[in-house]
Chains A and B, each alone.
Chain A
Amino acid sequence: MITATQQLDNYLEGFSEFEKLAPGHALPWLRRLRQDAFARFCEVGFPTTDDEDWRFTNVSAIAQTPFQLARNGRARLSQQELEPYRIAGVACQLVFVNGRFARELSLLGNLPDGVKVSTLAGEISGNPGAIEPHLGRYLDIRRDAFCALNAAFVEDGAFVHIPRGTLVEEPICLLFVSTADAAPSMSHPRNLIVAEEDSQATFVEHYVSLDGGGAAFCNTVTELVAGDHTVLSHYMIEREHKQAFNISTLRIQQGRSANIVSHSVLLGGALVRNNVHPVLAGEGGECLINGLFIGNDHQHLDNYMLVEHASPRCGSRQFYNGILDGQAHGVFHGRIIVHKDAQRTDAKQTNRNLLLSDDAQIDTKPQLEIYADDVKCTHGATIGQIEGDALFYLRSRGIDEVSARKLLLFAFASECLDRMKQGSVRKHVKGLINECLLQLAKAPDASIGNRREDTGRNWEEIG
């Protein structure tokens, strides 16, 4: 058993070494940002299940593993190894290996004039003025120890700047590859995306692992600054191997009438926590948060939403579907805060789940905090199984049992897939989901549909 102090000692050593040598260590503002964040992390330590925000997710496996910052001398990867993870039809693809930019693996395609896609490490060294006004301005390190930890070790990741009125038609893709070797390693990628007013673009964050060796811990933060009237989509695809820990936070700052869509697709990882935190700061903003999580074996997939309505006449929609088999544990935590001035807020939240085995588990929790008096907030959740009637109906038409089950699972997942409007990303995700669901459909759980037929639960409330 490792004590809490020992756990932090590991990070203390890592931090003092990192701080001296990291890019930008001479920049006072960056130095302060890292030090403040690390102090905050040391003060609170890793969260426990006593913390309401972490009630259903135990991170002691992360706390107790002596993760070391991934070394520079990373494994040599070939273009070929990355081939399965490339998404066809993207504008560019930046590759980060264990949190650090790998130029030789990246594909820098043609971007419209003025659009900048570079790296955080590059900007810190060469052009810190571009990032200083935004980096760490939106992320609240006091809310979350993992965000503090990320900020303490902030070093590399993507920096994207889209100038005013620019339309980027194809997705900007960021591929994060973990190549854990024997020793447990961690990385803290940090992305900063600034989209100026009236611009439109699509971003993809894609997490994969190669080698499949030891434990890897990826703790990532993306700050997405959405200017007035922007139309932006963000995709998060998690498909690391089943020894991986992934904590990710997407912090969106929305300007006036900005229309933002966040899609999360969680398929891989041992323990995954995906925080999506939009703040609708400008009037008339709209936000759609769409997610699909599919877990098997002992996977733990936690979806944490914090939607802050801070201005009037904003709309937010959350739709999450989960499919869980084996001993997988899913969490949906949908928190909506409607601030005092956010009149005419229209917020809706729906979480639907399919449990395919007796041992699969879902915790679904709405949490509404409303301080304005003219608002419409609804939330609902359902938990059920594959319907025996539907399965029989398909089989009675000649479709074999595995195919029928896969069709039903796919139909359920399609609700989320259909909300993904970017063709090339949707196509890629569809392929991944198909592969994943075929495995689940094959699982020899003969009792599906006849078991626990009366235990389907649902609730819906309107506030």
Chain B
Amino acid sequence: MSLLEIKNLHVKVDNHEILKGIDLKVNAGEVHSIMGPNGSGKSTLAQVLARRETYAVTSGEISYNGKDLLAMKPEEAACEGIFMAFQYPVEIPGISNAYLLRSALNAIHKYRGLDEIDAMDFLPLFREKLKLLDMDEKLMNRSVNEGFSGGEKKRNEILQMAVLEPKLAILDETDSGLDIDALRIVAQGVEAMRNPERAIVVVTHYQRLLNYIVPDFVHVLLDGRIVRSGGSELALELEEKGYGSMEAEARDAAPA
């Protein structure tokens, strides 16, 4: 049984069909990359997996870990082990990073019937992950993402992922806007989390991040459909030829 199985997923936003029948299987231990140009529906797919309710699923199904993902609220999906790193991490004045992380971790623990973690036990766990992402401990007492640079925000997403240890991690354009050093740190953070129990879905526009996180599978998303799937070499082909050629192929393949 796959960890994630998407069948014929159709999604509308503001009455406009964005995803037009997605089929995808992701097994534990695999890293998949979903690539596509702007507007192809990549982020919509990521948001639906994180259970954003403003996206209306009109047909299709998603099974996650044997359960019906579409019946879950965002917090249930999170507690079941899904984590999405946001393309645009939200600034939340008045709530510190440390407080958010501890609240999140304890919410997940509670859901799974585990003991709560108090502030003292939390600290060492925290410090270790901060080191992994080369982040200053001071950032943890600051409000969530408030006044953070673009790179700091993205690193903060990966930090949260490292602390929450999801079964299925979805990175929504985590590479966009990162300079090469930040990209390397973020990629190292993700690579460190790669293991046989965890699946990672990397949603990206460019191939650059995939130099550091080499995917097992690459899927090309165009106009709401996966038009090609292959190994990591597909990302290189895309880099070389661009999405244009694939768009043309997709048009040719479509019935007239």
Beyond A390-B90, A400-B107, A450-B54, is A395–B73 a contact (Cβ under 8 Å)? yes
On whether the beta carbons of A396 and B73 are closer than 8 Å, the reply is no
Among residues of B, the one whose C-beta sits closest to the C-beta of A450 is B54
Question: Which residues of B lie under 8 Å from residue A392 when comparing CB positions?
Answer: 52-53, 74, 90
Question: Which residues of B lie under 8 Å from residue A170 when comparing CB positions?
Answer: none
**Which one of B50, B105, B111, B164 has the greatest number of beta carbons of chain A within 10 Å?**
B50
On whether the beta carbons of A401 and B75 are closer than 8 Å, the reply is yes
On whether the beta carbons of A398 and B164 are closer than 8 Å, the reply is yes
Name the interface residues of A394-414: CB closer than 8 Å to any CB of B. Answer: 394-401, 403-404, 407-408, 410-412, 414
Among residues of B, the one whose C-beta sits closest to the C-beta of A404 is B75
Name the contact of A411 in the complex, choosing from B54, B79, B89, B94 (C-beta under 8 A). Answer: B94
Beyond A411-B93, A411-B95, A412-B94, is A395–B103 a contact (Cβ under 8 Å)? no
On whether the beta carbons of B94 and A394 are closer than 8 Å, the reply is no
On whether the beta carbons of B92 and A399 are closer than 8 Å, the reply is no
Q: Tell me the smallest distance from the CB of B178 to a CB of chain A, in Å.
A: 20
Docked Cα-Cα span, A410 to B75, in Å, equals 19
On whether the beta carbons of A399 and B86 are closer than 8 Å, the reply is no
On whether the beta carbons of A414 and B94 are closer than 8 Å, the reply is yes
Against A, the Cβ 8 Å flags (1 = close, 0 = not) of B42-72 are: 0000000011111000000000000000000
Name the interface residues of A378-401: CB closer than 8 Å to any CB of B. Answer: 387-390, 392-401
Name the interface residues of B135-158: CB closer than 8 Å to any CB of A. Answer: 143
On whether the beta carbons of A398 and B108 are closer than 8 Å, the reply is yes
Beyond A398-B111, A403-B103, is A415–B78 a contact (Cβ under 8 Å)? no
Beyond A392-B52, A403-B103, is A398–B75 a contact (Cβ under 8 Å)? yes
A interface residues, how many (CB within 8 angstroms)? 24
Question: Which residues of B lie under 8 Å from residue A415 when comparing CB positions?
Answer: 93-94
Name the contact of B90 in the complex, choosing from A393, A412, A450 (C-beta under 8 A). Answer: A393
Q: Does B6 contact A (CB under 8 A)?
A: no
Beyond A396-B74, A398-B75, is A407–B104 a contact (Cβ under 8 Å)? no
Among residues of A, the one whose C-beta sits closest to the C-beta of B86 is A393
Question: Which residues of B lie under 8 Å from residue A410 when comparing CB positions?
Answer: 94
Question: Which residues of B lie under 8 Å from residue A401 when comparing CB positions?
Answer: 73, 75
Among residues of B, the one whose C-beta sits closest to the C-beta of A407 is B95
On whether the beta carbons of B93 and A397 are closer than 8 Å, the reply is no
Docked Cα-Cα span, A415 to B95, in Å, equals 11
Question: Which residues of B lie under 8 Å from residue A400 when comparing CB positions?
Answer: 75, 107
Among residues of B, the one whose C-beta sits closest to the C-beta of A412 is B94
Question: Which residues of B lie under 8 Å from residue A403 when comparing CB positions?
Answer: 103, 107
On whether the beta carbons of A389 and B90 are closer than 8 Å, the reply is yes
Question: Which residues of B lie under 8 Å from residue A404 when comparing CB positions?
Answer: 75
Against A, the Cβ 8 Å flags (1 = close, 0 = not) of B108-151 are: 10010000000000000000000000000000000100000000
Question: Which residues of A lie under 8 Å from residue B83 when comparing CB positions?
Answer: 396-397
On whether the beta carbons of A407 and B75 are closer than 8 Å, the reply is no
Among residues of B, the one whose C-beta sits closest to the C-beta of A410 is B94
Docked Cα-Cα span, A411 to B77, in Å, equals 25
Q: Tell me the smallest distance from the CB of B154 to a CB of chain A, in Å.
A: 14
Among residues of A, the one whose C-beta sits closest to the C-beta of B95 is A411
On whether the beta carbons of A399 and B93 are closer than 8 Å, the reply is no
Question: Which residues of A lie under 8 Å from residue B93 when comparing CB positions?
Answer: 411, 415
Docked Cα-Cα span, A390 to B103, in Å, equals 15
Docked Cα-Cα span, A396 to B86, in Å, equals 10
Question: Which residues of A lie under 8 Å from residue B86 when comparing CB positions?
Answer: 393, 396
Docked Cα-Cα span, A415 to B51, in Å, equals 31
Beyond A392-B52, A403-B103, A450-B54, is A397–B78 a contact (Cβ under 8 Å)? yes
Q: Tell me the smallest distance from the CB of B117 to a CB of chain A, in Å.
A: 13
Beyond contacts A395-B75, A397-B103, A397-B107: 10 other A-B pairs, Cβ-Cβ < 8 A, are A388-B54, A394-B92, A395-B74, A397-B83, A398-B75, A398-B108, A401-B75, A412-B94, A415-B93, A450-B54
- A selection of 9 A-B contacts at a CB cut-off of 8 Å is A390-B90, A392-B53, A396-B75, A396-B84, A397-B78, A397-B103, A397-B104, A401-B75, A408-B92
Pairs A-B, 10 closest by C-beta atoms = A411-B94, A398-B78, A397-B104, A395-B74, A393-B90, A398-B107, A398-B108, A395-B75, A414-B94, A411-B95
A residues adjacent to B (C-beta < 8 A): 387-390, 392-401, 403-404, 407-408, 410-412, 414-415, 450
